Structure 1
Amino acid sequence: MTGELPKLVLKKDEKTAVEVYLHGATVTSWKCKGKEMLFVSKNAVFNGVKAIRGGIPVVFPNFGPWELGPQHGFARTETWKIHQQPEKDESGNIVAALVLEDTEQTRKIWDYNFKFLYTLTLKDDEFSTEVSIENTGTKGFHFTTLVHTYYNVDISKMKLRGLHGCEYIDKVGGGEKKEEREALQISGNVDSVYKNTANELLLSTGDHEIRITKENLPDTVVWNPWIEKAKQMSDFGDTEYKNMVCVEPGYVAKPYDLRPAEVFKAKQTITCLC
Protein backbone atom coordinates (compact mmCIF):
# COMPACT_ATOMS: atom_id res chain seq x y z
CA MET A 1 0.00 0.00 0.00
CA THR A 2 1.37 3.38 -0.95
CA GLY A 3 -0.68 5.29 1.61
CA GLU A 4 -0.75 9.06 1.53
CA LEU A 5 2.93 9.88 1.42
CA PRO A 6 3.65 12.95 -0.74
CA LYS A 7 5.23 12.35 -4.13
CA LEU A 8 6.02 14.12 -7.38
CA VAL A 9 5.10 12.88 -10.84
CA LEU A 10 7.23 13.73 -13.88
CA LYS A 11 5.10 13.00 -16.92
CA LYS A 12 6.24 13.43 -20.49
CA ASP A 13 3.33 11.60 -22.11
CA GLU A 14 0.93 8.74 -21.40
CA LYS A 15 3.71 6.14 -21.73
CA THR A 16 6.64 8.05 -20.22
CA ALA A 17 6.58 9.04 -16.54
CA VAL A 18 8.46 8.93 -13.23
CA GLU A 19 7.15 8.91 -9.67
CA VAL A 20 9.34 10.00 -6.75
CA TYR A 21 8.41 10.08 -3.08
CA LEU A 22 9.66 12.82 -0.77
CA HIS A 23 10.29 10.04 1.75
CA GLY A 24 13.90 9.12 1.00
CA ALA A 25 13.76 10.87 -2.40
CA THR A 26 12.84 7.38 -3.56
CA VAL A 27 11.92 6.96 -7.21
CA THR A 28 9.31 4.17 -7.32
CA SER A 29 8.43 4.13 -11.00
CA TRP A 30 10.01 4.86 -14.35
CA LYS A 31 7.80 3.97 -17.26
CA CYS A 32 9.43 4.10 -20.67
CA LYS A 33 7.29 3.43 -23.75
CA GLY A 34 4.65 2.04 -21.43
CA LYS A 35 6.98 -0.48 -19.74
CA GLU A 36 7.88 -0.34 -16.05
CA MET A 37 11.67 -0.37 -15.75
CA LEU A 38 11.98 -0.47 -11.95
CA PHE A 39 11.09 -3.09 -9.35
CA VAL A 40 9.20 -2.26 -6.16
CA SER A 41 8.24 -5.07 -3.80
CA LYS A 42 4.55 -5.79 -3.33
CA ASN A 43 5.38 -5.88 0.40
CA ALA A 44 7.14 -2.49 0.44
CA VAL A 45 6.18 -0.32 3.40
CA PHE A 46 5.04 3.25 2.77
CA ASN A 47 4.79 4.48 6.37
CA GLY A 48 7.19 7.43 6.24
CA VAL A 49 9.57 5.65 8.62
CA LYS A 50 10.98 2.56 6.95
CA ALA A 51 12.93 2.81 3.69
CA ILE A 52 10.85 1.90 0.64
CA ARG A 53 11.86 -1.53 -0.67
CA GLY A 54 12.57 -0.97 -4.34
CA GLY A 55 12.80 1.74 -6.95
CA ILE A 56 15.81 4.00 -6.43
CA PRO A 57 16.45 4.87 -2.78
CA VAL A 58 19.28 7.33 -2.06
CA VAL A 59 22.13 6.08 0.14
CA PHE A 60 23.98 8.80 2.11
CA PRO A 61 26.14 9.48 4.12
CA ASN A 62 27.08 5.83 4.58
CA PHE A 63 26.78 2.68 2.52
CA GLY A 64 26.33 -0.55 4.47
CA PRO A 65 26.34 -1.08 8.24
CA TRP A 66 27.06 2.13 10.13
CA GLU A 67 28.24 2.44 13.70
CA LEU A 68 26.75 5.95 13.96
CA GLY A 69 23.23 5.16 12.75
CA PRO A 70 21.01 3.08 10.48
CA GLN A 71 22.38 0.89 7.71
CA HIS A 72 22.85 2.86 4.46
CA GLY A 73 22.61 6.17 6.34
CA PHE A 74 19.59 8.39 6.91
CA ALA A 75 18.91 9.94 3.48
CA ARG A 76 16.60 7.10 2.39
CA THR A 77 14.36 7.57 5.45
CA GLU A 78 14.38 11.36 5.77
CA THR A 79 11.66 13.54 4.24
CA TRP A 80 13.18 15.63 1.47
CA LYS A 81 11.90 19.03 0.38
CA ILE A 82 10.83 20.07 -3.08
CA HIS A 83 13.48 22.30 -4.63
CA GLN A 84 11.90 22.42 -8.09
CA GLN A 85 8.47 21.22 -9.11
CA PRO A 86 8.35 19.11 -12.30
CA GLU A 87 8.52 21.41 -15.30
CA LYS A 88 9.46 21.23 -18.95
CA ASP A 89 12.87 22.60 -19.94
CA GLU A 90 13.78 24.23 -23.26
CA SER A 91 14.45 20.81 -24.79
CA GLY A 92 11.07 19.43 -23.78
CA ASN A 93 12.46 17.25 -20.99
CA ILE A 94 10.73 17.11 -17.60
CA VAL A 95 12.97 18.24 -14.73
CA ALA A 96 12.38 18.24 -10.96
CA ALA A 97 14.65 18.51 -7.93
CA LEU A 98 14.54 17.56 -4.25
CA VAL A 99 16.83 18.76 -1.49
CA LEU A 100 17.95 17.43 1.88
CA GLU A 101 19.86 19.54 4.40
CA ASP A 102 21.14 18.75 7.85
CA THR A 103 18.70 19.08 10.72
CA GLU A 104 18.97 18.90 14.48
CA GLN A 105 18.04 15.22 14.20
CA THR A 106 20.65 14.35 11.55
CA ARG A 107 23.32 16.22 13.48
CA LYS A 108 22.61 14.07 16.53
CA ILE A 109 23.60 11.08 14.39
CA TRP A 110 26.24 12.69 12.18
CA ASP A 111 27.36 16.16 13.25
CA TYR A 112 28.02 17.83 9.91
CA ASN A 113 26.39 20.51 7.76
CA PHE A 114 25.47 19.59 4.20
CA LYS A 115 23.11 20.30 1.32
CA PHE A 116 22.17 17.38 -0.93
CA LEU A 117 20.49 18.49 -4.16
CA TYR A 118 18.94 15.66 -6.20
CA THR A 119 17.90 16.53 -9.75
CA LEU A 120 15.72 14.23 -11.87
CA THR A 121 15.48 14.57 -15.65
CA LEU A 122 13.05 12.56 -17.77
CA LYS A 123 13.48 12.27 -21.53
CA ASP A 124 11.69 10.09 -24.09
CA ASP A 125 13.74 6.95 -23.42
CA GLU A 126 16.14 8.16 -20.75
CA PHE A 127 16.04 9.02 -17.05
CA SER A 128 18.85 10.63 -15.06
CA THR A 129 19.42 11.23 -11.37
CA GLU A 130 22.01 13.87 -10.58
CA VAL A 131 23.69 14.19 -7.18
CA SER A 132 25.13 17.42 -5.79
CA ILE A 133 26.45 17.27 -2.21
CA GLU A 134 27.77 20.51 -0.73
CA ASN A 135 29.69 20.84 2.53
CA THR A 136 27.98 23.88 4.06
CA GLY A 137 29.85 23.71 7.36
CA THR A 138 33.25 24.69 8.72
CA LYS A 139 34.72 21.20 9.04
CA GLY A 140 35.40 18.53 6.47
CA PHE A 141 33.65 15.18 6.41
CA HIS A 142 33.89 11.78 4.77
CA PHE A 143 30.94 10.02 3.19
CA THR A 144 29.91 7.22 0.88
CA THR A 145 26.89 7.48 -1.41
CA LEU A 146 25.01 5.32 -3.87
CA VAL A 147 21.88 5.26 -6.05
CA HIS A 148 20.37 1.92 -5.01
CA THR A 149 18.61 1.04 -8.27
CA TYR A 150 16.25 -1.96 -8.37
CA TYR A 151 15.49 -3.18 -11.91
CA ASN A 152 12.53 -5.19 -13.12
CA VAL A 153 14.02 -8.36 -14.67
CA ASP A 154 13.50 -12.03 -15.32
CA ILE A 155 16.39 -13.30 -13.23
CA SER A 156 16.64 -16.51 -15.28
CA LYS A 157 17.36 -14.47 -18.42
CA MET A 158 19.08 -11.40 -16.95
CA LYS A 159 22.64 -10.56 -18.04
CA LEU A 160 24.88 -7.66 -17.00
CA ARG A 161 27.80 -6.66 -19.19
CA GLY A 162 30.65 -4.26 -18.49
CA LEU A 163 32.17 -5.67 -15.29
CA HIS A 164 34.68 -8.07 -16.89
CA GLY A 165 38.14 -7.67 -15.39
CA CYS A 166 36.98 -5.62 -12.38
CA GLU A 167 38.11 -6.37 -8.86
CA TYR A 168 35.23 -6.88 -6.45
CA ILE A 169 34.46 -7.58 -2.82
CA ASP A 170 32.34 -10.71 -2.51
CA LYS A 171 30.20 -10.06 0.57
CA VAL A 172 28.57 -13.49 0.31
CA GLY A 173 31.50 -15.81 -0.42
CA GLY A 174 34.08 -13.56 1.21
CA GLY A 175 37.31 -12.04 -0.03
CA GLU A 176 38.35 -9.95 -3.01
CA LYS A 177 38.05 -11.44 -6.46
CA LYS A 178 38.35 -10.57 -10.14
CA GLU A 179 35.36 -10.82 -12.46
CA GLU A 180 36.21 -13.27 -15.22
CA ARG A 181 32.78 -13.38 -16.86
CA GLU A 182 31.97 -11.25 -19.90
CA ALA A 183 28.31 -11.27 -18.87
CA LEU A 184 27.24 -11.62 -15.26
CA GLN A 185 24.32 -13.99 -14.64
CA ILE A 186 22.74 -14.67 -11.27
CA SER A 187 21.76 -18.08 -9.89
CA GLY A 188 22.14 -17.51 -6.16
CA ASN A 189 22.58 -14.90 -3.41
CA VAL A 190 24.81 -12.12 -4.75
CA ASP A 191 26.13 -9.08 -2.89
CA SER A 192 29.24 -7.76 -4.59
CA VAL A 193 31.00 -4.39 -4.62
CA TYR A 194 32.81 -3.90 -7.93
CA LYS A 195 35.58 -1.30 -7.89
CA ASN A 196 36.56 1.17 -10.60
CA THR A 197 33.94 -0.04 -13.03
CA ALA A 198 33.38 1.21 -16.57
CA ASN A 199 31.21 4.28 -16.95
CA GLU A 200 28.80 2.31 -19.14
CA LEU A 201 27.12 -0.99 -18.30
CA LEU A 202 24.50 -2.92 -20.25
CA LEU A 203 21.69 -4.76 -18.49
CA SER A 204 19.63 -7.31 -20.40
CA THR A 205 16.41 -7.83 -18.44
CA GLY A 206 15.01 -10.74 -20.44
CA ASP A 207 12.58 -8.40 -22.19
CA HIS A 208 14.69 -5.41 -23.22
CA GLU A 209 18.05 -3.79 -22.57
CA ILE A 210 18.95 -0.86 -20.34
CA ARG A 211 22.15 1.14 -20.76
CA ILE A 212 23.49 2.39 -17.42
CA THR A 213 25.80 5.40 -17.72
CA LYS A 214 27.49 6.89 -14.67
CA GLU A 215 29.63 9.92 -13.90
CA ASN A 216 31.91 10.18 -10.84
CA LEU A 217 30.41 6.99 -9.42
CA PRO A 218 33.38 4.63 -9.79
CA ASP A 219 31.91 1.59 -8.06
CA THR A 220 28.96 -0.69 -8.81
CA VAL A 221 27.14 -2.90 -6.33
CA VAL A 222 25.22 -5.92 -7.62
CA TRP A 223 22.65 -7.50 -5.29
CA ASN A 224 20.00 -10.20 -5.28
CA PRO A 225 18.95 -11.81 -1.97
CA TRP A 226 17.87 -15.13 -3.52
CA ILE A 227 15.67 -17.69 -1.74
CA GLU A 228 16.65 -17.78 1.94
CA LYS A 229 17.36 -14.08 2.43
CA ALA A 230 14.18 -13.12 0.59
CA LYS A 231 12.22 -15.13 3.17
CA GLN A 232 13.93 -13.21 5.99
CA MET A 233 12.78 -9.77 4.78
CA SER A 234 9.29 -8.75 5.90
CA ASP A 235 9.03 -6.08 3.19
CA PHE A 236 10.03 -8.40 0.34
CA GLY A 237 8.00 -11.25 -1.17
CA ASP A 238 9.40 -14.77 -0.78
CA THR A 239 9.69 -15.32 -4.54
CA GLU A 240 10.30 -11.75 -5.70
CA TYR A 241 14.03 -12.41 -6.06
CA LYS A 242 13.03 -13.87 -9.45
CA ASN A 243 11.83 -10.46 -10.64
CA MET A 244 14.61 -8.07 -9.63
CA VAL A 245 18.27 -7.24 -9.57
CA CYS A 246 20.00 -4.25 -8.03
CA VAL A 247 22.73 -2.56 -10.07
CA GLU A 248 23.86 0.33 -7.90
CA PRO A 249 26.40 2.93 -9.05
CA GLY A 250 28.11 4.59 -6.12
CA TYR A 251 31.14 6.02 -4.42
CA VAL A 252 31.50 3.29 -1.81
CA ALA A 253 34.76 1.32 -2.07
CA LYS A 254 36.43 4.15 -0.17
CA PRO A 255 35.00 7.32 1.43
CA TYR A 256 34.98 10.66 -0.35
CA ASP A 257 36.60 13.53 1.54
CA LEU A 258 34.58 16.76 1.19
CA ARG A 259 36.15 19.92 2.55
CA PRO A 260 34.20 23.05 3.62
CA ALA A 261 32.48 24.86 0.69
CA GLU A 262 33.35 22.05 -1.73
CA VAL A 263 30.72 20.25 -3.82
CA PHE A 264 30.65 16.61 -4.90
CA LYS A 265 28.78 15.97 -8.15
CA ALA A 266 27.79 12.66 -9.72
CA LYS A 267 25.15 11.29 -12.05
CA GLN A 268 23.41 8.13 -13.21
CA THR A 269 21.65 8.00 -16.57
CA ILE A 270 19.57 4.96 -17.52
CA THR A 271 18.39 4.51 -21.09
CA CYS A 272 15.79 2.04 -22.28
CA LEU A 273 16.89 0.35 -25.49
CA CYS A 274 13.41 -1.03 -26.12
Structure 2
Amino acid sequence: MPITETDTTVVLTHPENQKSTVTILKYGATVYSWKLDGKEQLWLSSAAKLDGSKPVRGGIPLVFPVFGKCTDSVNHPELSQLPQHGLARNSTWEFLGQTTESPLTVQFGLYPEIANSELTKIWNYDFELILSVELGVDYLKTAIEVTNPLKATRELSFNWLFHTYLHVEDVEDTMVANLAGSNTYDQLLQESYTEVQPVIGFHEELDRIYRNVNPERVIQVVDKGHPLHSVKRSNLPDAVVWNPWIEKSKGMGDFEPKDGYLKMVCVEPGHVHDFVTLKPGAKWEAFQLLYKDELNYQAL
Protein backbone atom coordinates (compact mmCIF):
# COMPACT_ATOMS: atom_id res chain seq x y z
CA MET A 1 0.00 0.00 0.00
CA PRO A 2 1.40 3.43 -0.89
CA ILE A 3 -0.17 5.02 2.24
CA THR A 4 -0.27 3.49 5.71
CA GLU A 5 -1.99 5.37 8.52
CA THR A 6 -1.80 4.65 12.25
CA ASP A 7 -3.17 6.64 15.18
CA THR A 8 -0.01 8.75 15.26
CA THR A 9 1.73 8.51 11.87
CA VAL A 10 1.29 8.42 8.12
CA VAL A 11 3.81 6.57 5.97
CA LEU A 12 4.13 7.06 2.22
CA THR A 13 5.86 4.40 0.13
CA HIS A 14 6.75 5.23 -3.44
CA PRO A 15 4.93 2.82 -5.80
CA GLU A 16 7.99 2.49 -8.05
CA ASN A 17 10.51 1.93 -5.26
CA GLN A 18 9.43 0.32 -2.00
CA LYS A 19 12.65 1.55 -0.34
CA SER A 20 11.75 5.20 -0.89
CA THR A 21 9.51 6.32 1.95
CA VAL A 22 8.48 9.30 4.04
CA THR A 23 7.08 9.14 7.58
CA ILE A 24 5.01 11.97 9.03
CA LEU A 25 4.04 12.31 12.69
CA LYS A 26 0.56 13.76 13.07
CA TYR A 27 1.79 15.70 16.08
CA GLY A 28 3.30 18.77 14.46
CA ALA A 29 2.74 17.25 10.98
CA THR A 30 6.47 16.62 11.28
CA VAL A 31 8.25 14.64 8.60
CA TYR A 32 10.81 12.74 10.66
CA SER A 33 12.10 10.26 8.09
CA TRP A 34 12.69 10.47 4.37
CA LYS A 35 14.49 7.57 2.73
CA LEU A 36 15.68 7.53 -0.86
CA ASP A 37 16.28 3.97 -2.03
CA GLY A 38 16.65 2.97 1.60
CA LYS A 39 19.10 5.72 2.59
CA GLU A 40 17.97 8.21 5.22
CA GLN A 41 18.18 11.85 4.10
CA LEU A 42 17.12 13.58 7.32
CA TRP A 43 18.71 13.70 10.76
CA LEU A 44 16.66 12.66 13.79
CA SER A 45 17.84 12.76 17.39
CA SER A 46 17.84 9.36 19.04
CA ALA A 47 16.13 11.10 21.99
CA ALA A 48 13.45 12.77 19.86
CA LYS A 49 9.99 12.56 21.39
CA LEU A 50 7.55 10.88 18.99
CA ASP A 51 4.72 10.55 21.52
CA GLY A 52 3.31 14.08 21.23
CA SER A 53 4.84 15.23 24.51
CA LYS A 54 7.04 17.87 22.87
CA PRO A 55 8.15 19.00 19.39
CA VAL A 56 10.36 16.60 17.45
CA ARG A 57 14.12 17.21 17.51
CA GLY A 58 15.03 16.51 13.90
CA GLY A 59 13.24 15.86 10.64
CA ILE A 60 11.25 18.86 9.35
CA PRO A 61 9.45 20.65 12.20
CA LEU A 62 7.04 23.40 11.09
CA VAL A 63 7.54 26.90 12.49
CA PHE A 64 4.39 29.08 12.71
CA PRO A 65 3.33 31.79 13.54
CA VAL A 66 6.63 33.02 14.96
CA PHE A 67 10.27 32.16 14.33
CA GLY A 68 12.36 31.88 17.47
CA LYS A 69 11.13 33.85 20.43
CA CYS A 70 9.34 37.12 19.62
CA THR A 71 10.80 39.97 21.69
CA ASP A 72 8.57 42.74 20.29
CA SER A 73 5.89 42.81 22.98
CA VAL A 74 4.73 46.28 21.91
CA ASN A 75 3.77 45.52 18.30
CA HIS A 76 3.15 41.77 18.72
CA PRO A 77 2.02 41.21 22.34
CA GLU A 78 0.34 37.83 21.68
CA LEU A 79 3.25 36.46 19.63
CA SER A 80 5.70 37.45 22.33
CA GLN A 81 3.88 35.14 24.78
CA LEU A 82 4.12 32.06 22.56
CA PRO A 83 6.91 29.52 23.08
CA GLN A 84 9.85 29.45 20.70
CA HIS A 85 8.78 28.70 17.11
CA GLY A 86 5.07 29.05 17.82
CA LEU A 87 2.27 26.50 17.91
CA ALA A 88 2.24 24.44 14.68
CA ARG A 89 4.89 22.00 15.88
CA ASN A 90 3.09 21.75 19.26
CA SER A 91 -0.30 20.76 17.81
CA THR A 92 -1.78 17.55 16.44
CA TRP A 93 -2.79 18.08 12.81
CA GLU A 94 -5.72 16.45 11.03
CA PHE A 95 -4.81 13.96 8.32
CA LEU A 96 -6.85 15.06 5.32
CA GLY A 97 -5.95 12.09 3.14
CA GLN A 98 -4.44 11.49 -0.26
CA THR A 99 -4.85 14.14 -2.96
CA THR A 100 -2.98 12.61 -5.92
CA GLU A 101 -1.59 9.19 -6.84
CA SER A 102 1.15 10.45 -9.15
CA PRO A 103 3.02 12.13 -7.66
CA LEU A 104 2.03 10.53 -4.37
CA THR A 105 0.69 13.39 -2.22
CA VAL A 106 -1.12 13.69 1.09
CA GLN A 107 -2.37 16.67 3.08
CA PHE A 108 -2.66 17.67 6.73
CA GLY A 109 -4.71 20.51 8.18
CA LEU A 110 -4.53 22.70 11.26
CA TYR A 111 -6.96 25.36 12.48
CA PRO A 112 -7.76 26.88 15.90
CA GLU A 113 -10.44 24.32 16.81
CA ILE A 114 -7.89 21.47 16.87
CA ALA A 115 -4.65 23.33 17.58
CA ASN A 116 -2.95 23.35 20.98
CA SER A 117 -5.63 25.00 23.11
CA GLU A 118 -3.20 26.40 25.66
CA LEU A 119 -1.45 28.31 22.89
CA THR A 120 -4.52 29.44 20.95
CA LYS A 121 -5.77 31.02 24.18
CA ILE A 122 -2.64 33.16 24.04
CA TRP A 123 -2.64 33.76 20.28
CA ASN A 124 -6.35 33.96 19.53
CA TYR A 125 -6.38 34.39 15.74
CA ASP A 126 -8.31 32.71 12.95
CA PHE A 127 -6.11 30.71 10.58
CA GLU A 128 -6.20 27.69 8.30
CA LEU A 129 -3.05 25.72 7.46
CA ILE A 130 -2.81 23.00 4.84
CA LEU A 131 0.45 21.09 4.51
CA SER A 132 1.01 18.98 1.39
CA VAL A 133 3.70 16.27 1.45
CA GLU A 134 4.67 14.98 -1.99
CA LEU A 135 6.99 11.99 -2.39
CA GLY A 136 8.72 11.65 -5.73
CA VAL A 137 11.01 8.84 -6.74
CA ASP A 138 13.98 11.14 -6.14
CA TYR A 139 12.62 14.14 -4.23
CA LEU A 140 10.48 15.33 -1.33
CA LYS A 141 8.29 18.42 -1.58
CA THR A 142 6.61 20.04 1.40
CA ALA A 143 4.18 22.83 0.57
CA ILE A 144 2.15 25.09 2.84
CA GLU A 145 -1.01 27.14 2.38
CA VAL A 146 -1.87 29.71 5.05
CA THR A 147 -5.33 31.28 4.85
CA ASN A 148 -6.82 34.07 6.89
CA PRO A 149 -10.49 33.01 6.75
CA LEU A 150 -13.06 35.40 5.34
CA LYS A 151 -14.84 35.32 8.71
CA ALA A 152 -11.76 36.78 10.41
CA THR A 153 -12.11 40.24 11.91
CA ARG A 154 -8.45 41.28 11.66
CA GLU A 155 -5.27 40.82 9.66
CA LEU A 156 -3.11 37.75 10.23
CA SER A 157 0.64 38.33 10.61
CA PHE A 158 3.04 35.41 10.86
CA ASN A 159 6.42 33.85 10.14
CA TRP A 160 6.83 30.50 8.43
CA LEU A 161 9.83 28.16 8.36
CA PHE A 162 10.59 24.57 7.36
CA HIS A 163 13.12 23.72 10.11
CA THR A 164 14.85 21.06 7.99
CA TYR A 165 17.54 18.84 9.56
CA LEU A 166 19.61 17.29 6.76
CA HIS A 167 21.77 14.24 7.34
CA VAL A 168 25.48 14.49 6.48
CA GLU A 169 28.37 12.07 6.98
CA ASP A 170 30.68 14.57 8.70
CA VAL A 171 29.76 18.21 9.08
CA GLU A 172 33.45 19.20 9.21
CA ASP A 173 33.74 17.95 5.61
CA THR A 174 30.50 19.67 4.66
CA MET A 175 29.84 23.06 3.10
CA VAL A 176 26.70 24.98 2.19
CA ALA A 177 26.95 26.72 -1.18
CA ASN A 178 25.14 29.44 -3.14
CA LEU A 179 24.47 31.95 -0.38
CA ALA A 180 27.32 34.36 -1.21
CA GLY A 181 26.16 37.92 -1.70
CA SER A 182 23.16 37.51 0.59
CA ASN A 183 22.33 39.93 3.37
CA THR A 184 23.07 37.99 6.54
CA TYR A 185 22.09 38.31 10.17
CA ASP A 186 24.41 36.37 12.46
CA GLN A 187 22.33 35.44 15.50
CA LEU A 188 25.41 34.65 17.59
CA LEU A 189 27.23 37.90 16.82
CA GLN A 190 23.95 39.84 16.58
CA GLU A 191 25.36 41.59 13.54
CA SER A 192 24.27 42.07 9.93
CA TYR A 193 26.63 41.89 6.97
CA THR A 194 26.86 40.73 3.37
CA GLU A 195 28.05 37.14 3.03
CA VAL A 196 31.31 37.21 1.05
CA GLN A 197 32.43 33.62 1.58
CA PRO A 198 31.80 31.41 -1.48
CA VAL A 199 30.80 28.52 0.80
CA ILE A 200 29.87 28.12 4.46
CA GLY A 201 31.97 25.71 6.48
CA PHE A 202 31.35 24.29 9.95
CA HIS A 203 34.01 24.34 12.67
CA GLU A 204 32.03 25.92 15.52
CA GLU A 205 28.45 26.80 16.40
CA LEU A 206 26.76 28.59 13.51
CA ASP A 207 23.35 30.28 13.43
CA ARG A 208 22.66 32.69 10.56
CA ILE A 209 19.63 34.06 8.76
CA TYR A 210 20.26 34.70 5.06
CA ARG A 211 17.67 37.26 4.04
CA ASN A 212 16.00 37.86 0.68
CA VAL A 213 18.04 35.17 -1.04
CA ASN A 214 17.63 35.23 -4.82
CA PRO A 215 14.65 32.91 -5.45
CA GLU A 216 16.48 31.35 -8.41
CA ARG A 217 19.32 30.16 -6.21
CA VAL A 218 19.41 26.48 -5.33
CA ILE A 219 21.08 26.03 -1.95
CA GLN A 220 23.35 22.99 -1.95
CA VAL A 221 24.90 20.94 0.83
CA VAL A 222 28.22 19.64 -0.46
CA ASP A 223 30.61 17.01 0.95
CA LYS A 224 34.16 17.24 -0.41
CA GLY A 225 32.85 18.54 -3.74
CA HIS A 226 30.02 16.02 -3.94
CA PRO A 227 26.49 17.46 -3.67
CA LEU A 228 24.47 15.71 -0.95
CA HIS A 229 21.31 17.81 -0.88
CA SER A 230 19.80 20.48 -3.09
CA VAL A 231 17.17 22.81 -1.66
CA LYS A 232 14.83 24.78 -3.91
CA ARG A 233 12.45 27.39 -2.46
CA SER A 234 9.24 29.03 -3.63
CA ASN A 235 7.98 32.19 -1.92
CA LEU A 236 10.41 31.59 0.94
CA PRO A 237 12.90 34.46 0.69
CA ASP A 238 15.02 33.58 3.72
CA ALA A 239 17.22 30.64 4.67
CA VAL A 240 18.48 29.81 8.14
CA VAL A 241 21.69 27.78 8.37
CA TRP A 242 22.32 26.24 11.78
CA ASN A 243 24.54 23.77 13.56
CA PRO A 244 24.57 23.72 17.39
CA TRP A 245 28.12 22.34 17.73
CA ILE A 246 29.43 21.03 21.05
CA GLU A 247 28.22 23.22 23.90
CA LYS A 248 24.71 23.92 22.63
CA SER A 249 24.19 20.21 21.91
CA LYS A 250 25.11 19.43 25.50
CA GLY A 251 22.46 21.83 26.73
CA MET A 252 19.58 20.26 24.77
CA GLY A 253 18.13 17.30 26.63
CA ASP A 254 16.52 15.80 23.53
CA PHE A 255 19.65 16.10 21.37
CA GLU A 256 21.31 12.68 21.22
CA PRO A 257 23.91 11.47 20.72
CA LYS A 258 25.74 14.55 21.95
CA ASP A 259 28.10 14.34 18.99
CA GLY A 260 25.11 14.16 16.66
CA TYR A 261 25.94 17.68 15.50
CA LEU A 262 28.62 16.04 13.33
CA LYS A 263 25.91 14.24 11.35
CA MET A 264 23.52 17.12 10.63
CA VAL A 265 23.13 20.58 9.25
CA CYS A 266 19.95 22.62 9.23
CA VAL A 267 19.12 24.45 6.01
CA GLU A 268 15.76 26.04 6.70
CA PRO A 269 13.78 27.88 4.01
CA GLY A 270 11.37 30.39 5.47
CA HIS A 271 9.86 33.83 5.67
CA VAL A 272 11.32 35.07 8.94
CA HIS A 273 13.10 38.41 8.56
CA ASP A 274 9.68 40.07 8.54
CA PHE A 275 6.05 39.00 8.77
CA VAL A 276 3.65 37.86 6.09
CA THR A 277 0.40 39.80 6.55
CA LEU A 278 -2.92 38.56 5.17
CA LYS A 279 -6.22 40.40 5.10
CA PRO A 280 -9.38 38.35 5.81
CA GLY A 281 -10.02 36.03 2.87
CA ALA A 282 -6.40 36.12 1.63
CA LYS A 283 -4.10 33.11 1.19
CA TRP A 284 -0.30 32.67 1.11
CA GLU A 285 1.47 29.66 -0.43
CA ALA A 286 5.07 28.43 -0.39
CA PHE A 287 7.11 25.23 -0.68
CA GLN A 288 10.52 23.67 -0.29
CA LEU A 289 11.84 20.97 -2.61
CA LEU A 290 14.58 18.60 -1.44
CA TYR A 291 16.25 16.62 -4.18
CA LYS A 292 19.48 15.32 -5.68
CA ASP A 293 21.30 17.31 -8.34
CA GLU A 294 24.65 17.87 -9.96
CA LEU A 295 27.01 20.39 -8.38
CA ASN A 296 25.60 23.77 -9.39
CA TYR A 297 27.87 26.44 -7.98
CA GLN A 298 26.47 29.94 -8.29
CA ALA A 299 28.89 32.79 -7.58
CA LEU A 300 28.02 36.33 -6.53
TM-score normalized with structure 2 length: 0.85
Check if 1:72 corresponds to 2:85: yes
Structure 1 residues 241 and 144, CA, compared in 2 at 3 Å: closer, same or farther?
same
Select which of 277, 287, 291 maps to 1:271: 291
Could you give the per-residue CA deviations for residues 129-184 of structure 1, whole angstroms, max 9, x where no partner exists?
00100001221121001000000012011111110011111111221121111111
Could you give the per-residue CA deviations for residues 34-93 of structure 1, whole angstroms, max 9, x where no partner exists?
2110000111122312100000000000001132211000100100001124x652xx32
Select which of 250, 260, 266 maps to 2:280: 260
Q: What letter corresponds to residue 247 of structure 2 in structure 1?
A: E
Select which of 38, 41, 56 maps to 2:42: 38
Contact 2:26 2:94 in 1 (8 A): yes
Contact 2:25 2:50 in 1 (8 A): no
Check if 1:147 corresponds to 2:149: no
Structure 1 residues 239 and 250, CA, compared in 2 at 3 Å: closer, same or farther?
same
Distance 1:5 1:233 in 2: 28
TM-score normalized with structure 1 length: 0.93
Please name the residue that 2:112 is paired with. Answer: 102
Per the alignment, in what secondary structure is the counterpart of residue 156 of structure 1?
helix
Give the C-alpha shift of residue 107 in structure 1: 3.1
Please name the residue that 1:8 is paired with. Answer: 10
Select which of 162, 165, 171 maps to 2:187: 171
Distance 2:191 2:95 in 1: 42
Distance 1:61 1:173 in 2: 25
Q: What letter corresponds to residue 201 of structure 1 in structure 2?
A: I
Percent of paired sites with the same residue: 35
Distance 1:59 1:205 in 2: 28
Please name the residue that 1:209 is paired with. Answer: 228
Distance 2:51 2:188 in 1: 30
Distance 2:120 2:12 in 1: 32
Please name the residue that 2:137 is paired with. Answer: 124
Contact 1:169 1:176 in 2 (8 A): yes
Q: What letter corresponds to residue 219 of structure 1 in structure 2?
A: D
**Stretches of 4+ aligned residues off by more than 4 angstroms:** 205-208
Structure 1 residues 184 and 102, CA, compared in 2 at 3 Å: closer, same or farther?
same
Distance 2:7 2:82 in 1: 24
Select which of 14, 25, 32 maps to 2:29: 25
Distance 1:107 1:236 in 2: 28
Per the alignment, in what secondary structure is the counterpart of residue 202 of structure 2?
coil
Alignment: residue pair count: 268
Give the C-alpha shift of residue 205 in structure 1: 4.5
Gaps of 5+ in 2: 1-5, 71-79, 295-300
Contact 2:49 2:55 in 1 (8 A): yes
Please name the residue that 1:232 is paired with. Answer: 251
Contact 2:100 2:106 in 1 (8 A): no
Gaps of 5+ in 1: none
Q: What RMSD over aligned residues (CA atoms) do the two structures have, in Å?
A: 1.6
Contact 1:161 1:201 in 2 (8 A): yes
Per the alignment, in what secondary structure is the counterpart of residue 83 of structure 1?
strand
Select which of 125, 140, 157 maps to 2:173: 157
Distance 1:205 1:180 in 2: 20
Please name the residue that 2:147 is paired with. Answer: 134
Please name the residue that 1:243 is paired with. Answer: 263
Q: What letter corresponds to residue 101 of structure 1 in structure 2?
A: Y
Please name the residue that 2:298 is paired with. Answer: none
Q: What letter corresponds to residue 216 of structure 1 in structure 2?
A: N
